[in-house]
Amino acid sequence: MGQNVIRGDFTRIARNCERAVVTAYRDLRQLGTDDMAAYTACTTLYRIHHPEASMNEARRLVAEWIDHHVVRKQSGETPGCDCA
């Protein structure tokens, strides 16, 4: 991903875990972290917020959130957990 893909205001994301994941991914990428390392770190971050989540669930949600907010730059609701 290029640097132009990771800009955006993620403060309007309702879920704390989703906002934390997307912000962390964006910041890591801006600091030069490669895509896979940033994704892995964000999956770990999600599991800190939700230790009950399986690794597969965490990977799926993080990938969906990054795709939705960072790649596609969409602001609508996304699938995810029930936390606020």
Asked if residue 79 belongs to a domain, the reply is: no
Asked if residue 76 belongs to a domain, the reply is: no
Q: What is the pLDDT of residue 11?
A: 61
Residue tagged 């999956």 (tokens): 43
Q: How many structural domains compose the chain?
A: 1
Residue 20 is part of which domain span? 3-71
Q: What is the pLDDT of residue 15?
A: 83
Asked if residue 81 belongs to a domain, the reply is: no
Residue scoring higher pLDDT (74 or 33): 33
Q: Which long-range contacts (CB under 8 A, 24 or more apart) does 57-65 make?
A: 61/18, 61/21, 62/21, 62/25, 63/39, 65/18, 65/21, 65/22
Asked if residue 36 belongs to a domain, the reply is: yes
Q: What tens digit of pLDDT does each residue of 47-61 get?
A: 998 999 999 999 999
Asked if residue 80 belongs to a domain, the reply is: no
Asked if residue 45 belongs to a domain, the reply is: yes
CB 13 within 8 A of CB 19: yes
Average of pLDDT values for 59-65? 95
- At residue 25, does pLDDT exceed 80? yes
- At residue 2, does pLDDT exceed 70? no
Q: How far apart are CA 13 and CA 35, in angstroms?
A: 22
Asked if residue 78 belongs to a domain, the reply is: no
